[in-house]
Amino acid sequence: MSVGALGPEAHRVIATAMNRMGSRSNSGEGGEEVERFRPSAGEPDANSTTKQVASARFGVTPAYLISATELQIKMAQGSKPGEGGQLPATKVVDHIARLRHAQPARR
């Protein structure tokens, strides 16, 4: 699930737990924080090793791709506004806008 669906704290905790078990977590749509790609000394590994990529997908940068162990490529994913990672503008909070390289909602 994406960080937007779970919240940044839950997204990070799930990735950390999966890494500790030797399993994989999925970034979901929308990217994740750059500081999670490479753990700092003494910090737990919170990188989601499976990264989602689709045409014109937000949050995809070279650093995002390099940090992946596995890529999940979505092809011909049709979606309606508000579905499939397309958030209504009012739900694009500052944190999500930063990850997706987008503008936050105007309130």
pLDDT digits (tens, 9 = 90+) for 10-43: 999 999 999 999 999 998 876 788 999 998 888 8
- For 54-74, the pLDDT digits (tens) are 765 667 889 989 999 999 887
Confidence (pTM): 0.73
Listed by start position, the domains of the chain span 3-78
Q: Show Cβ contacts of residue 103 under 8 Å, excluding neighbours closer than 6 positions.
A: 92, 97
